[in-house]
């Protein structure tokens, strides 16, 4: 059976405005960090539109009613360190009782391949929805590696959420993991010779933590 490939671009005006501020090379680290949190919070509404609802009985100050509530199932956020941590706080503000795992990856600057150095995931990850988060979907190698790790741990319902994506990364994830929907705020032009997104916003991790000059 063919699997539908999904790319969902969240083009809300507030997100696009904040993304423009993040792209600006003059934006300082503290504002960059705040904007990433705010965009992640706004993205969460789109990512979880498909959550199932069930009915529960409650009593308002006026009367007893049947009211919608989320079905009881586990939600787990898994940021890809280190830049993925910048998206976590915003998403956790919307779903504060979500579980959190971490996958640490580094990129070989010559081959652009991703290698893991840290994996810590909640128990029973197979029973709920798992959202892998990373601001950038560039070559797709890091996302591919993270999704593969999650599958090997038993995850069955995986979503990938990022700030920016390019066709090269999207194509790789659709090829390797066609059942995994990709949520992003913008599909940029492509990659330069160093594997960075163009026009992009630079290295998200470095700008998030102020580890290099922004010029």
Q: What is the pLDDT of residues 105-143, one digit of tens each?
A: 887 777 767 788 899 999 888 888 999 999 999 999 999
| pLDDT score, position 49 | 86
The one catalytic residue among 23, 29, 107, 148 = 107
Catalytic-residue membership of 144: no
Catalytic residue chosen out of the listed positions 69, 111, 171, 211? 111
Provide the greatest CA pair distance for the chain. 66
HEC per residue, 94-108: HCCCCEECEEEEEEC
Domains of the chain: 7-46+74-209 (3.40.50.2020)
pLDDT at 212: 67
At 3 the pLDDT is 44
Q: What integer pLDDT is reported at residue 2 of this predicted model?
A: 41
- Say what angle helices 141-152 and 167-176 make with each other, to 10 degrees: 20
Q: Among this protein's residues, is 206 annotated catalytic?
A: yes
**What does the alpha-carbon distance between residue 215 and residue 143 come to, in Å, rounded to a whole number?**
28
- The question of whether 188 is a catalytic residue gets the answer no
Contact 65, 58 (CB under 8 A): yes
pLDDT in tens, 45-54: 999 888 888 8
Please give the Cα distance from 47 to 200 (Å, whole number): 22
Residue ranges of the chain with per-residue pLDDT less than 70: 1-5, 72, 112, 212-215
Name the strand (E) or helix (H) holding 19: helix 13-23
29 is catalytic: no
Q: How many other C-beta atoms can be found within 10 angstroms of the C-beta atom of residue 12?
A: 14
Predicted local distance difference test score (pLDDT) of residue 199: 95
């Amino acid at each position: 059976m063919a699997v539908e490939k999904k790319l969902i671009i969240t083009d809300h005006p507030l997100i696009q405005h904040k993304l423009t501020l993040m792209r600006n090379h003059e934006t300082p680290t503290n504002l960059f960090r705040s904007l990433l949190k705010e965009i992640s919070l706004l993205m969460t509404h789109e990512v979880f539109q498909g959550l199932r609802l069930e009915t529960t009985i409650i009593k308002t100050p006026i009367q007893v009613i049947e009211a919608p509530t989320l079905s009881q199932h586990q939600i787990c956020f898994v940021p890809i360190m280190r830049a993925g941590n910048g998206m976590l706080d915003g998403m956790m503000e919307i779903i504060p009782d979500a579980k959190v795992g971490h996958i640490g990856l580094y990129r070989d600057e010559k081959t652009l391949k991703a290698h893991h150095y840290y994996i810590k995931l909640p128990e029973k990850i197979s029973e709920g929805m798992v959202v892998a988060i990373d601001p950038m979907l560039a070559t797709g190698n890091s996302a591919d590696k993270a999704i593969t790790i999650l599958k090997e741990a038993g995850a069955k319902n995986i979503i990938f959420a990022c700030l920016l994506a390019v066709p090269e990364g999207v194509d790789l994830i659709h090829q390797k993991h066609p059942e995994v929907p990709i949520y992003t705020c913008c599909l940029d032009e492509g990659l330069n010779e160093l594997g960075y997104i163009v026009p992009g916003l630079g290295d998200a991790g470095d700008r998030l933590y102020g580890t290099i000059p922004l010029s």
